[in-house]
Amino acid sequence: MADPFTTLGVAPAFSLDLTQLAQRHRDLSRTLHPDRHAAAPPGERRRALGHAIEVNAAWRTLRDPITRAEALLERLGVPRDERGGPKASPELLMAVMEQREALAEARASGDVERIDALAGAVRQREQETLARLTEAFSRAEGGELDAPRLLSLLGELRFVRRFLDEVGAALDDLS
């Protein structure tokens, strides 16, 4: 896949204005829409369609902090394989295990308030992790690349997101 930052014509940074990014995506999508190229020769229509597909893929990549971080790590030459990063800290693993146990208990008892409280605490952790990731990428942009820290924070964000997915599934089951 082409570099998503280049495809959308935005500076490669973790901290992006998602409103501006969405507008850029809409503008490009409008320009590349097949209806605008209906009278064009077949080769030009194929190129426009191919570019539209790249624009949509870039938008999907950059709007999500995890895939945006992966794209930045790739640009920085840091392997982005989920299994290739540093091992999660024992503290993080213990916290995740405790949260999953609490979620399982709340789910089993149908305690929606407890599930909401767990989700709120994890959403707070997600915001804190995103702030630390933003700072670490800012430092990397300034020349202070700390790949192990970036990979560790990205791993933490993945754990948080998975837990929030589990919360969503629990709430769906209870509704």
Taking only the tens place, the pLDDT of each residue in 14-65 is 999 999 999 999 999 988 887 777 777 888 878 888 888 999 999 999 999 9
Q: Candidates 3.40.50.300, 1.10.490.130, 1.20.1280.20, 3.10.180.10; correct CATH number of 82-174?
A: 1.20.1280.20
| pLDDT attached to residue 51 | 87
Write the DSSP assignment of 104-138 as a string of letters.
HHHHHHT-HHHHHHHHHHHHHHHHHHHHHHHHHHH
In this predicted structure, the answer to whether residue 5 has a pLDDT above a threshold of 90 is: yes
What is the per-residue pLDDT across 72-123, written as a single tens digit (0 to 9) for each?
A: 999 999 976 655 556 778 898 899 899 999 999 999 999 999 999 999 999 9
pLDDT recorded at residue 83: 59
Residue span(s) of the chain under CATH 1.10.287.110 come to 4-63
pLDDT greater than 80 at residue 136: yes
CATH 1.20.1280.20 intervals, the chain: 82-174
Do 154 and 136 contact (CB within 8 A), yes or no?
Answer: no
Burial of 106 (0-12, 13-18, 19+ CB in 10 A): buried
pLDDT per position as a tens digit, 154-166: 999 999 999 999 9
CATH number of 4-63: 1.10.287.110
Residue 126 carries which side chain, given as an amino acid letter? E
In angstroms, the CA 76 to CA 141 distance is 9
How much is the pTM? 0.87
Q: Are 118 and 106 in contact (CB under 8 A)?
A: yes
